[in-house]
Amino acid sequence: MDIFEQLLSEMAQGGWMVPVLRISLIVLFTTLTIALSHWLIERFSKLVSSGIRSQEAQKRAKTLSRILKSVIYILILLVSLMLILSELKIDIKPIIAAAGVGGIAIGFGAQNLIKDLISGFFLLLEDQIRVGDVVKIGDTTGEVVDIRLRVLLLRDLSGNLHIIPHGNIAQVTNMTHSYSYWLFDFTIAYKEDVERVIKVIKEVAEEMRNDPGFKDDILEPAEVFGLDRFEESGVIIRGRVKTKPMTQWRVGRELNLRIKNRFDALGIEIPFPHRTIYFGNLSKNLVESNYQIKEESDENKEF
C-alpha cells in the first residue's frame, strides 16, 4: 500500500510526468541486449560445435545454449524492471523486503515449481538428456525437441508434443546416448540347420558393415548370440548390431530386408502360423457338396 500511496502523492504534486524518453531508452536497450546476447550465444555455440567431431558433445552444446538464453533473458528483464521502477521514483526496497517475506509464504505453495527447477538443473548437470535424444519417460517415448528451465518437450512418432515437468521425471531411458544397439530375433523352421543360418546372418551383417551407405553407422561386427529359445512354430536366433545414436532403426530395417531376401534365395524357411477353421455340421455339408461336384465332373469327362 505504501508504494501506491507514494505514486498517488507524486501524481498529486504534479511530479508524475515520468521521463518517457528515458523509459523508452531502457525498453529499447533491453530489447537490443536480449537480441545481442542470443546472437552471441548462438554464434559461440556454433563455433564450439564446429570444432567438435563428437555428435554427443554437439548435442550438449546445443542444449546448454538454449538454457543459457532463457537464464539471460530472465536476468535482463529483471534488471530492466528495476530500472523502470527507479525512473517511476518507486522505492524498490519495500518491494525487495516484501518479496523476501512473501517468498517464504509463496515457497510453501511453489514447492512443485522449485522441484522442477532443481530437477532440471541436475538433469543438465549430469548430462542425462540432450536436445535431439530419443528417450522414454514413463509410458511416453519420443525425441527431445527442447529443454526449458521447468519443463521438457518431447515429440512422439505421431507428432504429438508432450510437455513434462522436470519434477515428474522419475526415470529416464535414453535410447541414443553415446551409442545404440539394434536387437534382432529371427525365427527359422525346426528343420533348418541352425549353424548354417547363423553363418548366413553374420555374412549379411558383414556385407552391410562394408556397404558405403552403412559403414559409418555400424560401429562393430554383429553379435549373434545363438539359438535363444524354442517357439511353437520355430526356433529363435538372437543377436544385435552396435550403431551410432539415432541410426539403429535405419540399420535394423535394412538388415531385416536383406536377411529376408537372403533366406528366400537360400530356401531357408521363415515359419508362419497356419489356421484351420471348422464350421461344425456346415463343414460336413461342404465336404459332401464338394465330393458330389467332383463326381459329376468326372462323369462329364467320360462323355
Pick the CATH number of 2-124 from 1.20.120.530, 3.40.800.10, 1.10.287.1260, 3.90.700.10: 1.10.287.1260
| Average of per-residue pLDDT values in the chain | 80
Amino acid at site 140:
T
**CATH of segment(s) 180-266:** 3.30.70.100
pLDDT digit string, tens, across residues 92-137 = 666 666 666 555 555 555 677 777 777 877 787 777 888 889 999 9
pLDDT digit string, tens, across residues 18-45 = 566 777 888 888 888 888 888 887 777 7
The highest-confidence range among 72-86, 171-185, 194-208, by mean pLDDT, is 194-208
Rounded Cα distance, 198 and 185, in Å: 12
Rounded Cα distance, 71 and 73, in Å: 5
Confidence (pLDDT) at 159:
93
Q: Hey, where are the domains in the chain?
A: 2-124, 129-174, 180-266
pLDDT digit string, tens, across residues 144-164 = 998 887 889 999 999 999 999
Please, are residues 163 and 209 in contact by the beta-carbon 8 Å criterion?
Answer: no
Helices within 110-162 (DSSP H only): 111-125
Confidence (pLDDT) at 131:
85
Rounded Cα distance, 192 and 202, in Å: 16
Q: Which residue has the higher pLDDT, 87 or 59?
A: 87
Rounded Cα distance, 112 and 147, in Å: 17
Q: Is the pLDDT score of 284 beyond 70?
A: no
Confidence (pLDDT) at 148:
82
**HSE-up (13 A, CA, CB side) for residue 234:** 19
Confidence (pLDDT) at 48:
64
∠ CA 156-125-61, nearest 5°, is 70
**CATH of segment(s) 129-174:** 2.30.30.60
- 147 backbone φψ class: left, alpha, beta (φ>0; ψ -120 to 50): beta
- The reply to whether the predicted model has a pTM over 0.85 is no
